[in-house]
Chains A and B, each alone.
Chain A
């Protein structure tokens, strides 16, 4: 079972910083995530929520019991002098590979648990009151997820969207959110967490009066499902006599396949007897166009495309969808588990001093890409040097 987690957010209208903060991390056997909503909006809220989420995540990751960690944070959050309420609210979860999840909520709307895309489950919560501030309570849940279960967490920007409009005097509320989620799940039962969280945020923005966000709006979606696996073969194997063995491994991989590298494509083409077809147009953007090989989902040039891909992953808003690197980014983001088979053979020609210095060493780029995929996009990545 794989836990697909993603989030989307929108900042309050006219603000230049997000007041909600989401952070998550996969550690062996576990997935930890925290969504925090900072008091107010803009920079101040951004700093408050960022601090709360980061501290909690580190705390839980370091091995503290989630309930204990949250209690410490709840007891120590300062009080705003003007509003007399705590500086930030949060939802934290510690999800184990066997499906058991501990969830703590303090001030955020209650999460939504959907089973089989139609049934809403209402788990029992244990209320824990702060021993320093009697008006602070946190809800503790211990639940067990099954395959196809989904969890949706959001900031109050979602449940309160549309507040004051003639047909939603009290805003969307949790009921409205549930109705929307179920409708979307009916239309697309295998929707990814990335898409669902984005849809929820867009819907909340549309629900607002004048379609302008009155508060920071964030949604986190979790989906338990079979992992979408993919493999990337880049670089020819160090020992030429093992080309066939690795090509066969690649062929028999159960999932999506990509090749990054002209020579690598030639090696696979030779070993598996699949011709490489180049398209008529030679380039797209400033990168060579992807090529086509039967049975392989994406075939691109190597170093330049990978370098651009790592730049795109660093700044996803700059992705150009029509070039090879943009397609590779999509390939990565549509996968949960990504295996890299990195051939260690070097192309001497790349070390020619007359070539631009941008030509990086393959191992370094893959290291960079895999780190980004793991830490920023929460993918499961393995790298094998061959």
Chain B
């Protein structure tokens, strides 16, 4: 099965809006899902500029699907749904 790829946006807006806390995913995800899911940081997913009037940072990309207002719980929920 193809590995699910989780990209956490570490651009300025996302970082200050909470993606700094999402780094815990690096430890949580492997312990929960093993090597079925990988987590990496991303320099900027470009979502903040695309939707600057209604910012919903931080953003996380799970296999191409953008999660807005991302929290650890929200991300884990999405991963579970995909598995």
Interchain CB contact under 8 A, B12 and A302: yes
Tell me which residues across on chain A come within 8 A of B53, comparing CB atoms.
348
B30: min CB distance to chain A, Å: 10
B-side interface size class: 20 to 34
**Docked-complex contact A349 and B43, CB < 8 angstroms:** no
A280-B39, A282-B20, A286-B20 are known contacts; what are 17 more A-B pairs with Cβ within 8 Å? Answer: A262-B10, A262-B12, A262-B43, A265-B44, A266-B46, A278-B41, A278-B42, A280-B40, A282-B26, A283-B10, A283-B20, A299-B43, A301-B11, A347-B12, A347-B48, A350-B12, A352-B55
Within 8 A of B (CB), among A216-247: none
**Chain A interface: which size bin?**
20 to 34
In the complex, per-residue mask of A272-292: 1 if CB is within 8 Å of any chain B CB, else 0: 000010111111001011010
How many whole Å from B70's CB to the nearest CB in chain A?
13
Mark contacts of A332-371 with chain B using CB atoms, 8 A cut-off: 1 yes-contact digit, 0 otherwise. 0000000000000001111010111011000000000000
Is residue B62 within 8 Å, beta carbon to beta carbon, of the partner chain? Answer: no
Residues on A lying within 8 angstroms of B by beta carbon are 261-263, 265-266, 276, 278-283, 286, 288-289, 291, 299, 301-304, 347-350, 352, 354-356, 358-359
Task: Tell me the smallest distance from the CB of B58 to a CB of chain A, in Å.
Answer: 11
Shortest Cβ gap from A384 to chain B (Å): 22
Partner of B43, one of A265, A281, A303, A347: A265
Assess whether A288 is in contact with B16, with CB atoms less than 8 Å apart: no
Closest to A305 in B: B12
Give a binary string over B48-59; 1 marks a CB under 8 Å from any A CB, 0 the rest.
110011010100
In the bound complex, CA of A281 to CA of B10 (Å): 11
Q: Closest 10 CB pairs between A and B?
A: A262-B44, A349-B48, A348-B52, A282-B23, A262-B43, A262-B11, A288-B10, A278-B41, A282-B41, A349-B52
Q: Contact at B26–A280, with CB atoms within 8 Å?
A: yes
Say yes or no: B11 contacts A359, CB within 8 Å. no
Listed by A's residue number, 18 A-B pairs whose Cβ atoms lie within 8 Å are A262-B10, A263-B49, A276-B43, A281-B26, A282-B10, A282-B19, A283-B20, A288-B20, A299-B43, A301-B10, A301-B11, A301-B15, A303-B12, A349-B52, A350-B13, A352-B52, A355-B17, A358-B16
B22 on the interface (CB 8 Å rule)?
Answer: yes
Closest partner residue, chain B, to A236 (CB atom): B49
Residues in B whose Cβ lies below 8 Å from that of A303: 12
In the docked arrangement, what's the CA distance between A285 and B47, Å? 25
Residues on the B chain within 8 Å of A356, using CB: 16
Among B19, B41, B55, the residue within 8 A (CB) of A349 is: B55
A280–B12 alpha-carbon span in the complex (Å)? 18
Contact yes or no, B44 A352, CB < 8 A: no
Asked if A348 and B49 make an inter-chain contact with CB atoms under 8 angstroms apart, the answer reads yes
Q: Does B75 contact A (CB under 8 A)?
A: no
A366 CA to B5 CA, complexed, in Å: 35
